[in-house]
Each structure stands twice: as structure tokens, then as C-alpha cells.
């Protein structure tokens, strides 16, 4: 019997600007980790990922893209006969990569379209991840797991956490200063902790890509994430998984499912 794999999540699952793009509005790649893993498993895939998603837009809030397209809450489309459901979300609840983008483009060119696009989200500049933000991500992940469990008959539910973007040795180059880098490290730690606690609380399986990618962050010899993309057409794909990173996530997911 053919497996059915369902993927829920934001851009770290969708794979914006990794060709081929199968849904430009969703920033969804034909070579994101869900598709690569499903191909290795010989499975049918229901890919519901949308770049920019939060735990709320997976659960119960429609998501409207910058062009006005509306995506229904992702969980509503999970089929009852799903065998595996993967979840990668929560970073946007903490403004994780958005903070990196804001810092980098503010330094590079405050007049850049991406700077102007992000500025309203950061009226007071970069902010520490608050306890409330972390709780929103953690409880959101738990609720997604619970919702998927209620909607499916027998699915294995797998939380797949975020590839490491910034490491302790990341210089940031012209993108961010040391204080900003240290803030992003604290955000990373907060997000990783939210995943661990959500897995413990919900009983979901956990693929800890954050640990496996420690030596593959920015400035490493073999990064699994992109640096800064200055073209306005693709700049929001900065500090996200690259094609190699998606391959490595797919490999580990398949290994843990075996």
C-alpha cells in the first residue's frame, strides 16, 4: 500500500526560491524536503506548506499572501488516511528569519524594498524573543499535533525543527554586528527549546535538524542555508534552507521513519 505523507509548515519546509517552484504564491519548491522525502519513500505527498505561515495559520487562521491570495488553515486539508504528517513551523511566531532580514537590509540599504517592507513589523527595532512569543510557538506546535491526531486514523506525527542559520562562530560579515548575531543565537535557542518541549508534551516524534546542522550554518565550509540575497525578487529567501539543506533534512527524516 502506498504511503500518504502530509507536510504542514512555513518557508523552512516550503523551500522558497529553490527551483523548480511549484506554487510561487506559497513559495513552495518541487525540491523541498517533503517532496524529496516522499520520493525516497515512494509515497504520495500532500504538500500544504506556505512560506510565511505561523502556527495560527496552520491551525485556524486563513493566511493572506502579499499579493492577496488566501490560503485556508493548513490543518483543514489533512486527509484522514494520512500515514505521516510532518510539521515545521514556529519561527515566524518569533520573527526569527524576519529579524535577520530586517537587520541585514537595514545595514545594507534602508531604502531597499525589503527594508521598507519589513520596517512596519519592527517599529522599535529588533526585539528579544519574549516568553509570550515562545509560548505561542510551543503551544501552537502542541495544538497542531493534537489537531492532526484528531483528524487522522493512524498518522505518525513528526516535528521537524529548523536548520541552524547562525552559529557561535558566524561573523555576519556586512550583514549583522556581534550583538545582533547574539540575539539571533538566543532566538535559535528559544525556538529549539519550544520544539523539544512541544514534542515531550504532545508525544510527537522530533527530527532535530538544528543539532545536525550545527556545522553547516552561515560562514561554514558547507552551508545548508543561504546568505543574503539582495535581488528584491528573491530577497525574502535569504537565511533559509538551500537545496543541499533540503536534501539533508529529507535524508534524516527518511532515516528516522525507517
Q: Can you list the positions of beta strands (E) in the chain?
A: 4-9, 21-23, 28-29, 44-47, 63-64, 70-71, 84-88, 156-160, 205-207
Kind of pairing, strands 28-29 and 21-23? antiparallel
220 catalytic, yes or no?
no
Nearest CA to 247 out of 27, 22, 29, 10 is that of 29
Q: 490560503: which residue's cell?
A: 71
Specify which residues 225 forms β-bridges with.
241
Give me the catalytic one of 7, 11, 210, 213: 11
Q: How many CB atoms lie within 10 A of CB 228?
A: 21
- The phi, psi pair for 170, rounded to 5°, reads -70, 125
Indicate the burial class of 151 (C-beta count within 10 angstroms; 0-12, 13-18, 19 or more): middle
Give me the catalytic one of 7, 115, 202, 240: 240
112 catalytic, yes or no?
no
Indicate the burial class of 186 (C-beta count within 10 angstroms; 0-12, 13-18, 19 or more): exposed
**Which are the catalytic amino acids?**
11, 240
Amino acid at each position: 500500500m502506498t504511503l500518504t505523507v502530509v507536510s504542514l509548515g512555513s518557508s523552512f519546509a516550503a523551500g522558497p526560491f529553490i527551483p523548480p517552484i511549484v506554487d510561487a504564491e506559497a513559495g513552495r519548491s518541487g525540491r523541498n524536503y517533503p517532496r524529496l522525502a516522499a520520493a525516497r519513500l515512494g509515497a504520495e505527498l500532500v504538500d500544504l506548506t506556505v512560506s510565511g505561515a505561523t502556527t495560527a495559520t496552520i491551525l485556524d487562521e486563513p493566511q493572506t499572501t502579499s499579493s492577496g491570495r488566501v490560503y485556508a488553515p493548513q490543518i483543514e486539508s489533512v486527509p484522514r488516511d494520512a500515514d505521516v504528517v510532518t510539521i515545521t513551523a514556529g519561527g515566524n511566531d518569533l520573527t526569527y528569519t524576519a529579524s535577520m532580514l530586517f537587520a541585514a537590509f537595514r545595514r545594507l540599504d534602508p531604502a531597499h524594498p525589503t527594508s521598507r517592507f519589513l520596517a512596519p513589523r519592527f517599529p522599535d527595532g529588533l526585539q528579544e524573543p519574549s516568553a509570550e512569543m515562545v509560548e505561542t510557538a510551543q503551544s501552537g506546535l502542541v495544538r497542531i499535533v493534537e489537531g492532526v491526531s484528531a483528524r487522522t486514523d493512524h498518522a505518525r506525527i513528526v516535528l521537524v525543527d529548523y536548520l541552524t542559520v547562525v552559529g557561535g562562530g558566524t561573523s555576519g560579515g556586512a550583514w549583522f554586528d556581534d550583538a545582533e548575531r547574539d540575539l539571533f543565537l538566543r532566538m535559535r535557542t528559544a525556538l529549539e527549546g519550544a520544539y523539544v518541549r512541544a514534542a515531550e508534551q504532545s508525544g510527537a516524534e522530533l527530527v532535530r535538524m538544528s543539532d545536525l546542522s550545527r556545522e553547516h550554518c552561515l560562514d561554514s565550509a558547507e552551508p545548508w542555508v543561504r546568505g543574503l540575497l539582495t535581488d528584491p525578487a528573491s530577497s525574502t529567501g535569504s537565511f533559509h534552507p538551500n537545496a543541499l539543506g533540503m536534501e539533508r533534512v529529507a535524508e534524516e527524516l527518511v532515516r528516522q521513519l525507517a
